[in-house]
Amino acid sequence: MENCYNWERNILKFADKNENKFNLKFKGDKTIVSGDSATGKTLICTLLSNISKDKNKSLKPYNADNVFILTDDNVEKLVDQKNKLIIIDRAEFILNDKIVDYINHDRENRYLLFLRKAMGIDLSPNHFAELKKDNKDNETVLEYLFDIKGWY
């Protein structure tokens, strides 16, 4: 069984039953993904959540144990996460000053935030991206919006 998220390579990679592929290569510990509705942000969260909930491990092609989907219902569990890719969909509705401060100081996890603006997250412009579909390979990838020299 393959991990959806490869910590060493900092890549989230999996496919769904309809052969839609997701291959998100992250530049650092925090990435903000913006974009129009229906580009796949919520779909990624839903698919990963379903992978996590599926208890029949012998039939699963993927393991999402090192991914944590943060929601309003489990926000108190954020501080318990270690060595995880933490994904926050519609982050503008979940983030507050306390959570932003925690994320800015957290060195044990990585973050994928589906968010339209930074909202106080300490981040280089080089870590802002959009989801793009490569129709040739039926693969969704990250397209970074900036590549500014001197920013990491």
Question: Tell me: the pLDDT tens digits for 7-19?
Answer: 999 999 999 888 8
**Total domain count, the chain:** 1
What does residue 7 show for φ and ψ, rounded to 5 degrees? -60, -45
- Please indicate, yes or no, if residue 150 is contained in any of the structural domains: no
- First-last CA distance in the chain: 33
Identify the domain containing residue 87 by its residue range.
Answer: 2-144
- Please indicate, yes or no, if residue 6 is contained in any of the structural domains: yes
Q: How far apart are CA 150 and CA 152, in angstroms?
A: 7
- Per-residue pLDDT band at 140 (split at 50, 70, 90): very high
Q: How far apart are CA 152 and CA 149, in angstroms?
A: 8
Per cent of the chain over pLDDT 70 is 95
Inform me whether the pLDDT recorded for 58 exceeds 60: no
- Please indicate, yes or no, if residue 152 is contained in any of the structural domains: no
pLDDT (0 to 100) of residue 93: 95
Tell which wins on pLDDT, 120 or 59.
120
- Please indicate, yes or no, if residue 149 is contained in any of the structural domains: no
- Please indicate, yes or no, if residue 126 is contained in any of the structural domains: yes
- pLDDT tens, position by position, 70-81: 999 999 999 999
- Please indicate, yes or no, if residue 151 is contained in any of the structural domains: no
- Please indicate, yes or no, if residue 18 is contained in any of the structural domains: yes
